[in-house]
Structure 1
Amino acid sequence: MTLIDARDIPADATSRDRLNGSGLDYRVVDLSDDAAATPFLRAVGRGFLGEESTPEALAHSRQTVSQRRTTGVFETDAVSGDLPVATIDSWVTPLTVPGGAEIGMWAISGVTVAATHRRRGIARSLLEGELRAAHGAGIALAGLTVSEATIYGRYGFGSALPAVRFSVDTRRAGWGGHEPSGRLEYRERAQLVDDLATVHERARRTRAGRIAGWAGRWEQFAGTAPGETDRDKVRGVRHVDADGETRGVLVYTVTDRSGSFRFGLNVRMLVAETADARAALWRFALQHDLVDEVTADLQTADDPLPWLVADQRGVTQEVHDHGWLRVLDVARALSARKYSVPVDLVLRIHDPLGFAAGDWRLHVDVSGVATVEAAESAAPDAVLGVAALSSLYAGAVRATALAGAGLIDAEASVVDLLDRAFFTSPAPSLDIWY
């Protein structure tokens, strides 16, 4: 699919004027300029409480962020070399939606506000500015992953893609699964970068909720990025099928837990295209010599791991929020995905920012294809806020749960229909941070 370059979109005028009135300068930052790039990247690191980056680490980060639309907020009297007091970056990425199609999503990252400038409306201007820019550019959906889960609902984002964190007591769990086909091979860290990129790009297209990765992300996972924590402890294996094709990759670290040669194995990334590849990589981790515990985050709700062990009570599962979405164009977003049962309903969407507000008729035919249009006079069958619609969108969050929390106002039969229509398999997920 053809995607727009977010760097071509100017700074939002409304946010610019609002912050100018508070003595702040809101502008897109050109990271091709050395004098601008280093302060911007240092401010991002400061905002996420990171250590002061080395020149090598800054140069590496710049390779990634320079491909994005980077926006900073500065004091109006700032001079060249001064750090911005707030940052945000964004780009348009393909998002896989139920049914296997893709839609362009405005991905948001690097959101920071200096502790010296809290409660001045800066975060609001940053987030609303991104949404106005995305909507103005014709993008139907925005998304982000968050460090604080209480902030983004006020801007219409909904928690849409939960993740599972596994902790496995390997001595108790054991192995009860089948003998997977194929073979495993150790890989050098530089090789893992290419392996992750190749397998993830194929695998992400088969599961709703996933976005495309990028070189810097794989270099961080593989431990080749400058300044990456535990980089010298990173190891990895790949799964190769009978045809010699790489179908899965496991990147991990091991840490001495007790000083007595008993280790914990932490999965940094596990990506697999086939059931045999996933089973083989889990078996490798769980049966690794001297390892008592395996931990892995950002796994899917339908991962077979609990069914591959001999004792499921050796597997602890913690479900948590991860991917957040925000519908900006109801008609384009809802018509981009497929549905599991036919539907003909009018949805009334409340959106304080106005992008998605209105009454919308969602008509789904027997093949799961939707047409969506403004409903001029029909009474609504369901009333919900844009955050609830955004949570429902990818198919991982159930309408019954949202209705039970008072976030969808509809008859039980309508909620049940929404539940069945938006459901999709395999379980939607997001397997990286961005």
Structure 2
Amino acid sequence: MTHLHTDIDVRPITEDEFPDWLRAVNTGFLRRPVATELEISHRRAQFQPGRYLGAFDGDRCVATFKSFDQRLTAVGGVEVPADAITGVTVTATHRRRGLLTRMMTRDLTAAKDRGDVVATLIAAEYPIYGRYGFGPATWTTEWTIDVLRTGLDPRRSGQDEAGGRIDLVDGADVRKFGPELHARLRAVQPGAVSRDELWWRVNTGVVRYDDTWTEPFYAVYRSSAGEVEALAAYTVDDNWHDKQPHNTASVRWLIGTSPAAERALWRYLCSIDWVTRVKSGWRAPDDLLPFFLPDPRAARITWQADWMWVRILDVVRALEARTYAGDGTLVLEVTDRAGLVGGRYLVEASPTGGTCTPTSQSAQLTLDVGELAALWLGDESAVRLASLGRVQEERAGAARSADALLRTSRRPWCPDMF
């Protein structure tokens, strides 16, 4: 059993305490504990009073927690306000004292009071966050492409049949047109989250937290009309042996607003001289990438895992924000051990939206708020969860009916780490 140690002070930190808080973050993530002045300076610039929590044993920070405002795209394209959580650590000397529970409770309560619809995070470890009402709402996959097996003609694989063109640009160009491109993607991609100006500055090397930054190549795809439709950042290693190149192009991120634009960029990456492997970076688990290649087997899955976790803070607004695969009704009994949400709700769904209202009608499905989060973006199956005993059918066939309404034809995807 976890015992709460009330002698440890859990509270928002002051700006003067930020260096000690950052030391605790680095300790928790097994980075060098002493932060450089550059890291302190750049990270302190993000400081928001009240959104950085610390647990203090005397004068020393021994646990950390940070949240910030985010916008998350629901099924159908509506954005909802989210409480994005990051920087969560508990120093090894202070585990099992309830510190995370105290920080999480404080933050989620504040987020609900602010009017956030959901909370989000990227879970470093799977078992931790389910007990706080989070569920894995998106997954991510990395492919490694064996370029020599793709079946692409190396003389033509970098050319675009639709008449578009690919150019190499620099970071200043990316900061100029990248945000607008990302906004167009986010408008149609369930699970995508907002990127602020700092994201673009960090990911183009303007803001550097340490001396490990390696400037990537940036490739942009423009349609025949000159419109920017896809953008990629990638690095290439230098690996030769036996007088032969064995270089790997590693994609840091690649976004596009059409399959044709993405296809053109992937084929370009497979056409770079001396590159024999391409690592895709974080992609949706049903990404089209393998099928852009004449031989899809040339792209093998390197790893696949849960990615963004979601915690519902307002059931009505969450279920009314999204669209549904068809017309129908569903009565859900939602439980929440934290008491932030919960109750019985009638969902009247349609492809253009839906309504969600508290009801006294008999429930068709009973589920925890974490399981509702896993279903909300359309990725998980109520039938699968019922088979695992994590969703209870109160009426035979209710899980199948829920899937017919909630699931999406393409899987949600969060391109970002935060």
Check whether TM > 0.5.
yes
Q: Does 1:206 align with 2:206?
A: no
Question: Which of 363, 367, 382 is matched with 1:380 structurally?
Answer: 363
Alignment coverage as a number of residue pairs: 406
- Asked whether the equivalents of residues 38 and 210 of structure 2 are also in contact (C-alpha less than 8 Å), the reply is no
Q: Does 1:23 align with 2:7?
A: yes
For residue 412 of structure 1, report the CA deviation from its aligned partner.
5.2
How far apart, in 1, do the equivalents of 2:197 and 2:30 lie?
A: 24
3-state SS of the aligned residue for 2:187? helix
Match of 1:46 in 2: 27
Match of 2:220 in 1: 238
- In structure 2, what residue type is equivalent to 1:271? I
Q: Does 1:158 align with 2:135?
A: yes
3-state SS of the aligned residue for 2:208? coil
Measured against aligned partners, the alpha-carbon deviations of 1:37-56 in whole angstroms (never above 9, x if no partner) come to 22222322222122343212
How far apart, in 1, do the equivalents of 2:108 and 2:132 lie?
A: 9
**Residues 200 and 146 (structure 1), Cα distance of their counterparts in 2 relative to 1, 3 Å cut:** same
How far apart, in 1, do the equivalents of 2:206 and 2:267 lie?
A: 26
Aligned runs of 1:6-405 on 2, under 5 Å? 22-31=6-15, 35-51=16-32, 52-66=34-48, 69-75=51-57, 77-78=58-59, 82=60, 84-175=61-152, 179-227=161-209, 231-259=213-241, 260-317=244-301, 318-365=303-350, 367-376=351-360, 378-405=361-388
Measured against aligned partners, the alpha-carbon deviations of 1:230-273 in whole angstroms (never above 9, x if no partner) come to 52352111112233332211101111345453211111010112
3-state SS of the aligned residue for 2:25? helix
Between 1:119-128 and 1:179-188, the stretch displaced more is 179-188
For residue 425 of structure 1, report the CA deviation from its aligned partner.
4.4
**Residues 144 and 23 (structure 1), Cα distance of their counterparts in 2 relative to 1, 3 Å cut:** same
Question: Which of 382, 406, 409 is matched with 2:392 structurally?
Answer: 409
How far apart, in 1, do the equivalents of 2:201 and 2:275 lie?
A: 25
Gaps of 5+ in 2: none
For residue 426 of structure 1, report the CA deviation from its aligned partner.
4.1
Measured against aligned partners, the alpha-carbon deviations of 1:196-252 in whole angstroms (never above 9, x if no partner) come to 333212211111111101233333333443245752352111112233332211101
Q: Does 1:419 align with 2:396?
A: no
3-state SS of the aligned residue for 1:167? strand
How far apart, in 2, do the equivalents of 1:391 and 1:307 lie?
A: 27
Between 1:324-333 and 1:49-58, the stretch displaced more is 49-58
How far apart, in 1, do the equivalents of 2:46 and 2:318 lie?
A: 27
- Asked whether the equivalents of residues 65 and 89 of structure 1 are also in contact (C-alpha less than 8 Å), the reply is no
TM-score by length of 1: 0.87
How far apart, in 2, do the equivalents of 1:229 and 1:299 lie?
A: 27
TM-score by length of 2: 0.90
- Asked whether the equivalents of residues 10 and 99 of structure 2 are also in contact (C-alpha less than 8 Å), the reply is no
**Residues 49 and 221 (structure 1), Cα distance of their counterparts in 2 relative to 1, 3 Å cut:** same
How far apart, in 1, do the equivalents of 2:235 and 2:177 lie?
A: 17
Structure richer in helix, relative to its length:
1
How far apart, in 1, do the equivalents of 2:169 and 2:104 lie?
A: 41
How far apart, in 2, do the equivalents of 1:68 and 1:394 lie?
A: 29
Matched-pair identity in %: 30
For residue 292 of structure 1, report the CA deviation from its aligned partner.
1.4
- Asked whether the equivalents of residues 36 and 210 of structure 2 are also in contact (C-alpha less than 8 Å), the reply is no
- In structure 1, what residue type is equivalent to 2:313? L
- In structure 2, what residue type is equivalent to 1:149? Y
Gaps of 5+ in 1: 1-17
- Asked whether the equivalents of residues 246 and 276 of structure 2 are also in contact (C-alpha less than 8 Å), the reply is yes
For residue 293 of structure 1, report the CA deviation from its aligned partner.
1.2
- Asked whether the equivalents of residues 336 and 368 of structure 2 are also in contact (C-alpha less than 8 Å), the reply is yes
